[in-house]
Amino acid sequence: MIMDEQALIEWAKNAQTDALLKGGMLLPKQRHDYIGAAMVVRAALFFPNAYQEAVQGEIANCFAAYAAYAGPRLRWLTQDGRKPVQLKDGQVDQKAFRARGDAGVTAYLSSGEKADDAGLWEFRVFGILEYEEAMPEAGASALTFSVPAPFLVAHPRVFQQLFVDFAKRLNAYNGYAGFAVNLSLTEAEANTPTEYWLARRYIALDVGNPLLNATHLRTKLKTVSWLTCLDKALLEQVGGITALRSELPPDWFALYDMNGGVVIQAGPEPESGGAADEAGKGPPVAPANYVILNNALKAARATTVWRLQRGLMGAAAPYFDTTAESDDWLHRFDIDESDVFDYKAKLLKMPRLTATSVLPDRL
């Protein structure tokens, strides 16, 4: 299962089922009769005012744009406090994205064969309530959407367009998109060791449930990735567009407007950060473009998210259970200023952006 980045992509392309991992894979005493984890390309956006009807309407619009590609692959809708509902032809009533009484917006859609299965196609949203919105420490509402890796080849630039459009619609605080692992909604804790195991081999994978991490992500950015979003306030913290242009060469980085903020695309496709050797047996290597971007955005980055993962008590398999280990992960791309030049030299060997890999309205 250890492989370099190209092998990872081929693995997903050859048979999408190969990107699906059985439940409780690293916990022998747990049940295994479901899909516990799915290797995907996933976006996470953190945004305000999900309690407002206008924003709930935009969430529904985001889903409609996503569903235009996911279509009938979406099989299940789950909402907090309700049993999973099996969908017909992927159709979802827009009322699913409206707040219900004293409950905020919650909608979790998946392509899993069973309600317990992790899906390659998933759309999730969790909205905090009005009184929580008034509390600075309450964090943000969150929306995620994912696709299988081959989607990027079959539909060039579509994922980037969805990310930018959704960030604008939601007036996002911040967000990011790249390789990630979807976990079973109902059995997430039994599968965090699988996510941990993959993250130790692919340093650029996102880790943790963004909907839970959102508590710490109203004013700071969790991580950089293939696509990274900053609102106007965070953009100002890193010196504005002019400062980013001086740090991010346009042959490798594209900038897009996001309501006065910015979305940054690092490279033509997401990076996994796997081993450099062909056998994939060496240590993971941080992609130079992510390292350079991370350095440029250091003033906007979060210093902690408390705990990245939640797992089963007493389980033998490891996961990011402590604040210290979780914080170390947040700093995985950090370098000394004296090393920046070396990484810019490494950048020269990475694939450049092309007209077919960027959106036409780049800044």
For residue 284, being part of any structural domain is answered with: yes
For residue 228, being part of any structural domain is answered with: yes
This prediction has a pTM of 0.94
Q: Are 326 and 308 in contact (CB under 8 A)?
A: yes
| Across 297-304, average pLDDT | 96
Report how far residue 162's alpha carbon sits from residue 144's, in angstroms, rounded to the nearest whole number: 11
Report how far residue 19's alpha carbon sits from residue 1's, in angstroms, rounded to the nearest whole number: 11
Q: Are 351 and 267 in contact (CB under 8 A)?
A: yes
For residue 208, being part of any structural domain is answered with: yes
Domain count, the chain: 1
Q: What share of the chain is helix, strand, coil (3-state, %, to 5)?
A: 35, 20, 45
Q: Which two tokens stand for residue 35?
A: 């899909």
42-66 pLDDT tens trace: 999 999 999 999 999 999 999 999 9
For residue 121, being part of any structural domain is answered with: yes
Q: Is the pLDDT at 105 greater than 70, yes or no? A: yes
- For 3, residues 6+ apart whose C-beta sits below 8 A from its C-beta are 11, 274, 280
Residue 25 pLDDT: 85
117-170 pLDDT tens trace: 999 999 999 999 999 999 988 899 999 999 999 999 999 999 999 999 999 999
Residue 34: name the closest of 186, 222, 146, 156 by CA. 186
Report how far residue 79's alpha carbon sits from residue 68's, in angstroms, rounded to the nearest whole number: 21
Consecutive H or E run containing 110: strand 106-110
Report how far residue 274's alpha carbon sits from residue 283's, in angstroms, rounded to the nearest whole number: 7
- For 14, residues 6+ apart whose C-beta sits below 8 A from its C-beta are none
Q: What are phi and psi of 210, to 5 degrees?
A: -55, -30
**Domain range enclosing 160:** 5-347
For residue 353, being part of any structural domain is answered with: no
For residue 166, being part of any structural domain is answered with: yes
Highest mean pLDDT among 37-51, 92-106, 264-278: 37-51
For residue 190, being part of any structural domain is answered with: yes
Neighbour count for residue 100 (Cβ, 10 Å)? 14
The CA–CA distances, whole Å, from 14 to 1, 9, 205 equal 15, 9, 21
| Across 309-324, average pLDDT | 84
For residue 363, being part of any structural domain is answered with: no
